[in-house]
Chains A and B, each alone.
Chain A
């Protein structure tokens, strides 16, 4: 009896440690969130955010943010100048679209023909899933019914020929 009482605090100790750690983590998270993250983005971060959506016209599959080309540098400087003048990121993207066409945007737009590009992968995934589900379902229902798939005429012929070969050894 005495032994049981003595072991209880020892058993509780790990649980209390874990509970304390959880409470501490929750408090730290709450304090961190209340401070609102690392602060407002710098000018360079804002420029990079807009430049990342634009295609570098003289590169192969590089964004204006990632390209070291002179044209991309000039485009980044233009973005910075426009941000400093108080233009919104969307208005700046629209400026480049008005000069270079929709081609300049790395992501297709969410409307019109651009919607097809967004929807196609999902549609292909669903269609593929349906095909797989159809074949699996058919196989399973056949197995449940205990029947083998019917033999084709050529398979039946082959069996007949091979059995005949077994029966008449040379």
Chain B
């Protein structure tokens, strides 16, 4: 007999209950840990591998229309951004450097203004520098077509017109270079 009065006959039953409780707690903890480790706002893109949705959008500065269909055969870096977005400001130098390096190698850089005012975007361009077209997306229809839920989001479109990758949140020079190089034909990837 133990000090608390339990005898040998009670012990297996108590152990079974303790083991079952412990197992449930561990299972629940593991489930919670798994859930907490994931970002509930990270929206997985279903567009990777699919044909990039077509668009015809006007350039903010020149008023010229840009058609995605005309860019077949080129690697396209399509960046959704806004001047009010902190991460867009943060990623801009990397984007600019990548454009300087690959803009002449047939890689087309395009930005699409997202829920922003034209005047703010123009001020941003003057302050930060931008040599590639910034496209206007009235009503955000192109952003919806690309499943954009926040900025910045950057899509990498291969020469075959398919979306090869997507970066949600700020990109970096290193990330841009590695994505672009993976899409360029071998001879051009220098």
Contacts and interface: CB of A to CB of B under 8 A. Distances in A.
A152 B9 contact: yes
B43 A103 contact: yes
Contacts of B24: none
A153 B144 contact: no
Given A74-B144, A103-B43, A58 B149 contact: yes
A98 interface: yes
A94 B46 CA distance: 13
A77 interface: yes
A148 to B, nearest CB: 18
Contacts of A71: 115, 140, 149
Interface string A89-101: 0000000011111
A99 B145 contact: yes
A77 B139 CA distance: 8
A75 to B, nearest CB: 7
A16 to B, nearest CB: 64
A25 B3 CA distance: 77
Interface string A131-158: 0000000000000000000001110011
A100 B141 contact: no
B141 A157 contact: no
A154 B7 contact: yes
Interface in A58-109: 58, 70-71, 74-75, 77-78, 97-101, 103
B7 A157 contact: yes
Contacts of B53: 99
Q: Chain A binding site: helix, strand, loop or mixed by DSSP? A: helix
A97 B139 CA distance: 19
A70 B6 CA distance: 66
A99 B10 contact: no
B147 interface: yes
A103 B7 contact: no
B141 A78 contact: yes
A6 to B, nearest CB: 78
B144 A99 contact: yes
A99 B7 contact: no
A58 B47 CA distance: 19
Contact of A75 (B6, B45, B144): B144
A99 B146 contact: yes
B163 to A, nearest CB: 11
A153 B7 contact: yes
B44 interface: yes
A157 B115 contact: no
Given A57-B43, A71-B115, A157 B1 contact: yes
Interface centre among A74, A97, A99, A157 (most CB of B within 10 A): A99
Given A70-B115, A100-B43, A158 B149 contact: no
Given A100-B149, A101-B147, A153-B10, 20 more contacts: A58-B150, A71-B115, A74-B144, A75-B144, A78-B139, A78-B144, A98-B46, A99-B46, A99-B47, A99-B147, A101-B43, A101-B45, A101-B46, A103-B43, A103-B44, A152-B9, A152-B10, A153-B7, A153-B9, A154-B5
Interface of A: 57-58, 70-71, 74-75, 77-78, 97-101, 103, 152-154, 157-158
11 contacts: A71-B149, A74-B143, A99-B144, A99-B145, A100-B147, A100-B149, A101-B43, A101-B46, A153-B10, A154-B10, A157-B1
